[in-house]
Structure 1
Amino acid sequence: MAVGTMQDENIRIIGRETANSRGKCRTLIGQSSLGTEWTLLGKGSFGQVFKARHHQWEKDVAVKLICLDDGRPEEDLFCEAELMLRAEGPYIQKILGVFKGYRPLSPLIFVGLVTDMMTRGSLFSMQRKRENKLLPWPLVFRLVHQVAVGMRNLHSLTPALIHKDLKPNNVLLDSGLNVKITDFNLAMLANRETVIPLRGVQTPFFRPPEAMYTATGAYDVYSYAILLWTILNPGHSYAPFDASNGVRPSLEDVENMKAEEVPGLEELVEIMVKCWSQNRDQRPTFAECAAVTEELYEKHKHGITDAVRDVLEELDAAPDTEPAVVFKDEIDVVKWTPDRCPGWPQVLHRFINLFVRTRMWQWVRRYL
């Protein structure tokens, strides 16, 4: 795949042509477009995710970075970008461009995906911020329906796009708590039967029994069932269990909920149990799941406005569980003020400020 050179703040580059991405372009975003102050949102085996401000677009964006110096191939990220281009839909996180350059306070070169900023974080972070309390039922049924529709869209592509890492951390929420499925790092295009390449490992708690040797649409359906269980049982640990021997998460708490006579709850539990069937051929498709969840959501749709408002008010009132980690060029250098460095250190102080502000260290690094 040909990748353009970084000549301007933003330039257009063409990816590999496919039936669903032919004629589309990706924007290669220069580092100066994103400013010098980034906030860390999360990190994992894939790399790190930051919030940055795109000055030309006048909006906050999310930047998922991998470092080119840690041995990971750049092609992995461009492959993920291609899959995200194919996966456009109302409940799929939109890719805005590809980043290549330096992160604030780092001399290393990074590549990354630039996407819309989801202001409400992930389903997992929302559950934790709400101290793992069960969501209002209208919101529960809307979440499970939107995830089903988003996954149905992925599986309806030709060939189908298998996500392979569906879990609460990868279900993002916009300002209205609508779903945006993200993280296609493990995703792959699947035929009827596909051997899984050893390119990463899904969280064991959400991994189906057949995970080590095949990836079909049933793979994601199983993960969807476990995702439903986490929505109905917030706060439970993700301790792995032996799915290959038919072990599944406990339904004790869910059975107790049935006493509340929540409309549609029994049908939701029924579809969840079908989705985690040991025999993958007995699991429903996402088209079938979406048809069921749509009917169930209709029973609660009248209360969704109040449910969303109540949860947003609760989230706004909740204290931040973790302090923001900000990466900003010169932030550490500014602390070295001349009054703390009398005499000759003043010269060193000025040199370091000049070195950082002019990004001279980038030039030095290229030619060493």
Structure 2
Amino acid sequence: MGNCWFKGNPYFNRVSSNATKSESPKIQSPSERIGKEDSQLPSNPKEVEALRKDTARNPLIAFTFEELKRITKNFRQDSLLGGGGFGRVYRGYITKDLREGLEIEEPLRVAVKVHDGDNSFQGHREWLAEVIFLGQLSHPNLVKLIGYCCEDDHRVLVYEFMPLGSVESHLFSRVMVPLQWSIRMKIALGAAKGLAFLHEAEKPVIYRDFKTSNILLDEEYNAKLSDFGLAKDGPVGDKSHVSTRIMGTYGYAAPEYIMTGHLTAMSDVYSYGVVLLELLTGRKSLDKSRPVREQTLADWAFPLLTQKKKVLGIVDPRLAEDYPVKAVQKTAMLAYHCLNRNPKARPLMRDIVATLEPLQQLEENPSDSLAGAT
């Protein structure tokens, strides 16, 4: 990162700065391999790998805590990238002299996510959920997990380094250059591809905490989903949903999930619609500083999304009308469908990807398009 733009902006943000987290425990059952009946979860690398053996597809490095100290220069303050409810995230470098036989590209930049400070049973389950899910899933739009540390009370995850940080840190910053419309569409498509992959995996996964702070960007603004602590295996067989405790982030969570605890892939689609609104408007999903009727973005914007002229009035003013109007209007309609109160009426993520792909190339003369808007 090495860039003052990110000062004060979390690289990973477990508790979103623009929303209030549920006070419920974060994880109930992130995988069938981590059932709620389990009274004894892995407490060392050997036990973690034994749990991973049936589903693991990605080789992970089991780091010692001493090795992590070397990687982060003893967790020095100038290596700190940010933090949240889980703990802190540090920048680090892995070199071949760290350990004999280590097969890595040298030097490898990484982000080291320290769960120390949350040694509760639930905290351990959340850490383990990330190890399990990211150890079995691999996709260009999912952040890559390189390794972990499970030593004494230390619970640490080591990810690929994402130099541009989170979408949240760009979208709501007062000091960073506003994201161009084309970049917002690139982010929207990449994140949609990540969710579509999860929903259509051999064993479907519901992400459950889709939001701008969990979408990270590489140096070319490619979007990757991070933080799988709340991920949940999707329903199987003739089941229509998974019943869970209500967890996630206010402002993003689907209304039917909040009311019933019934979790489906359509819950992620609703959250995706909220993120589309944030990209479209530059507003936070939940903003208590605004007038009461405008505090919840989805509730305020929803009635306007089908009205072509009114939609242009809610576009992020920092774009200075530098955007293709037709693409904005089609994006607004896509958000409208994602936010349908009836979850069965929402589009599948694969259909969202298909809708977004042609919008990547849709460019117009803004002034001409504004004149012709109806």
Q: Same fold (TM over 0.5)?
A: yes
Q: Are the equivalent residues in 1 in contact too, given 2:56–2:132 (CA < 8 A)?
A: no
State how far apart, in whole Å, the 2-side matches of 1:273 and 1:16 are.
40
Q: Are the equivalent residues in 1 in contact too, given 2:185–2:360 (CA < 8 A)?
A: yes
* Structure 2 stretches lacking a partner, 5+ long: 1-32, 34-40, 97-103, 316-320, 365-374
Alignment of 1:266-285 (within 5 A): 266-285=329-348
The TM-score normalised by the length of structure 1 is 0.69
Give the letter for the 1:71 counterpart.
S
Q: Are the equivalent residues in 2 in contact too, given 1:46–1:185 (CA < 8 A)?
A: no
Give yes or no for the alignment of 1:249 onto 2:300: yes
Count of paired positions:
288
Which residue does the alignment assign to 1:292?
A: 355
Q: Are the equivalent residues in 1 in contact too, given 2:52–2:132 (CA < 8 A)?
A: yes
Give yes or no for the alignment of 1:16 onto 2:52: yes
Which residue does the alignment assign to 1:238?
A: 286
State how far apart, in whole Å, the 2-side matches of 1:197 and 1:237 are.
23
State how far apart, in whole Å, the 1-side matches of 2:113 and 2:311 are.
36
Give yes or no for the alignment of 1:87 onto 2:127: no
Structure 1 or 2, whichever has the larger Rg, is 1
* Structure 1 stretches lacking a partner, 5+ long: 103-108, 302-368
Q: Are the equivalent residues in 1 in contact too, given 2:82–2:89 (CA < 8 A)?
A: yes
RMSD: 3.3
SS in structure 2 of the partner of residue 218 of structure 1: helix
State how far apart, in whole Å, the 2-side matches of 1:142 and 1:31 are.
37
Give per-residue Cα distances to partners, 1:216-270, cap 9 Å, x unaligned: 110000000000111112244623799xx99623248733268865242211111
Q: Structure 1 residue aligned with 2:207, among 163, 183, 188?
A: 163
Q: Structure 2 residue aligned with 1:225, among 252, 255, 273?
A: 273
Q: Are the equivalent residues in 2 in contact too, given 1:205–1:239 (CA < 8 A)?
A: no
SS in structure 2 of the partner of residue 98 of structure 1: strand
Give yes or no for the alignment of 1:189 onto 2:233: yes
Q: Go from structure 1 to structure 2 and tell me whether the alpha carbon gap of 1:230 and 1:131 turns closer, same or farther (over 3 Å shift).
A: farther
Q: Are the equivalent residues in 2 in contact too, given 1:68–1:111 (CA < 8 A)?
A: no
Q: CA deviation at 1:126?
A: 1.6
State how far apart, in whole Å, the 1-side matches of 2:298 and 2:61 are.
46
Q: Structure 2 residue aligned with 1:122, among 151, 163, 166?
A: 166
Q: Are the equivalent residues in 2 in contact too, given 1:165–1:202 (CA < 8 A)?
A: yes
Q: Are the equivalent residues in 2 in contact too, given 1:233–1:254 (CA < 8 A)?
A: no
Give yes or no for the alignment of 1:180 onto 2:224: yes
Q: Go from structure 1 to structure 2 and tell me whether the alpha carbon gap of 1:99 and 1:70 turns closer, same or farther (over 3 Å shift).
A: closer
State how far apart, in whole Å, the 2-side matches of 1:247 and 1:22 are.
38
Q: Are the equivalent residues in 1 in contact too, given 2:274–2:298 (CA < 8 A)?
A: no
State how far apart, in whole Å, the 1-side matches of 2:190 and 2:271 are.
15
Identity %: 23
State how far apart, in whole Å, the 2-side matches of 1:167 and 1:96 are.
23
Q: Are the equivalent residues in 1 in contact too, given 2:311–2:329 (CA < 8 A)?
A: no
SS in structure 1 of the partner of residue 61 of structure 2: strand
The TM-score normalised by the length of structure 2 is 0.68
Give per-residue Cα distances to partners, 1:285-338, cap 9 Å, x unaligned: 00000000011113259xxxxxxxxxxxxxxxxxxxxxxxxxxxxxxxxxxxxx
Q: Are the equivalent residues in 2 in contact too, given 1:246–1:278 (CA < 8 A)?
A: no
State how far apart, in whole Å, the 1-side matches of 2:331 and 2:108 are.
38
Give per-residue Cα distances to partners, 1:56-88, cap 9 Å, x unaligned: 352221122223763235343222211112331
Q: Structure 1 residue aligned with 2:83, among 40, 43, 59?
A: 43
Which residue does the alignment assign to 1:55?
A: 95
